[in-house]
Amino acid sequence: MQLKEIFKKFVHIARENPNYLVALLDTNHCVTEASDENVCGEIISQDMDPARNRQFEIKINNQLEGYLWIHIHEQDNVIGMVSKLFYDSLRTRIAHELEQENSLEKLSLEDQLVNELVIKKSADSVYVRDLMNKLKLDDTIPRTAIYVLKNDVFDRQEVTNLKYRISDQNTFYSLINEHTLKIFKPQSKSKTNIDMRRDLMIFVSELVEWGLTNCYYAIGTPQYQVRLYVNSYSSCQWVMKNVVMVKDKPYFFTDHIFGYFCSRLDAGKLDNLFDYYYQKVINMDAEEMVEIAEALFNSNFNINVAANVLYLHRNTLLYKLRGYESLFKINIRGSMQGKIMFFLFSDLLKRTL
């Protein structure tokens, strides 16, 4: 920490009030910085007239770094109050700078941890354990990755300040690049999936309220084992790439598992199996069918909700579904197999459109 740099602001203030002299003394009481440069190098006794002189110890991390000396040329009755204010302000600045240094140091370790866990191809488990120990992170609790993407650049100072907003000591995060923040949030072992989900929704809304706005939030899978955090991260990436997202709202990978499994199917191998059906859709609006299938899937096959999303009347949607049922000879509305068949076929069609 540059104590002299901090002190310059105080020197400037004292120079505007000619009755006051403020100086920074080293541990031998020698003046190193002062509002009156003529006193630099002088040794200032601790036993000077208290009516015109005050000295305060300056400690950083409990170590004496020097003294603050306040002197008034003409005696007044507010030296006690003014010199205490000077001292308090200087101490506050020092405390703030120390805290910033500590945060940056901690964030640097968290950067290393996130890099080791999710960026590198294979994590060094000993190094990961060592970093987690240094950061006092419990490695026995489950965590969920939260991927925060901002089209604008993240303010690095804001990201540092986030340390104070996230009061949970077991959360760690890293600014992977200027657009991407990766957070690993702990979850209570005893909580149900619904409670965990609610906690994450509250967490994201608090981040937005705090100021992390205009961001996309993807929530990965919860993971017990540290070595599997990378999978939570990957599931976030999948959401970012495959889900249509609105800013400042959380999107859970677990809400898109069916879509995820479909995306893992090898379209090349399945393509020919459905040739019979492909022939049937040649003369119809295939894009509309894909949209309808997605809307039904996203609404858990709730006809009313899907119709709203599609800006269709409920009866129009039912009419279209009956048409698909008749065309493909499957029961989309009444059978689970029909629903899966319809969605899988639409998904394959989407990839070949």
| Chain residues in the site for another protein (CB under 8 A) | 9-10, 13, 16-17, 82, 85-86, 88-93, 95-97, 99, 157-158, 160-165, 167, 210-211
Specify the length of the chain in residues: 353
Task: Pick between residue 37 and residue 88 the one whose CB is nearest to another protein.
Answer: 88
Task: Pick between residue 11 and residue 312 the one whose CB is nearest to another protein.
Answer: 11
Distance CA 163, CA 168 (A): 9
Structure tokens at 152: 């604008």
Q: Are strands 63-72 and 53-60 parallel, antiparallel or unpaired?
A: antiparallel
- Minimum distance from CB of 97 to another protein (Å)? 8
- Minimum distance from CB of 87 to another protein (Å)? 10
Task: Pick between residue 161 and residue 263 the one whose CB is nearest to another protein.
Answer: 161
- Minimum distance from CB of 90 to another protein (Å)? 8
Structure tokens at 158: 């804001």
- Minimum distance from CB of 266 to another protein (Å)? 47
Helix, strand, coil tally for the chain in percent (to 5): 55, 20, 30
Which candidate, 266, 263, 227, places its Cα nearest to that of 243?
A: 263
Task: Pick between residue 210 and residue 258 the one whose CB is nearest to another protein.
Answer: 210
- Minimum distance from CB of 93 to another protein (Å)? 6
Element (H, E) at 181: strand 180-186
Task: Pick between residue 164 and residue 319 the one whose CB is nearest to another protein.
Answer: 164
Q: Helix (H, G, I), strand (E, B), or coil: what is residue 56? A: strand
- Minimum distance from CB of 95 to another protein (Å)? 4
The single residue listed with the structure tokens 């998904």 is 347
Structure tokens at 128: 């990961």
- Minimum distance from CB of 255 to another protein (Å)? 29
Distance CA 295, CA 113 (A): 39
Task: Pick between residue 93 and residue 350 the one whose CB is nearest to another protein.
Answer: 93
Task: Pick between residue 161 and residue 170 the one whose CB is nearest to another protein.
Answer: 161
Spell out the alpha helix ranges (H) of the chain.
3-15, 79-114, 125-134, 156-165, 193-210, 229-242, 257-264, 267-270, 275-281, 286-298, 303-309, 314-328, 336-352
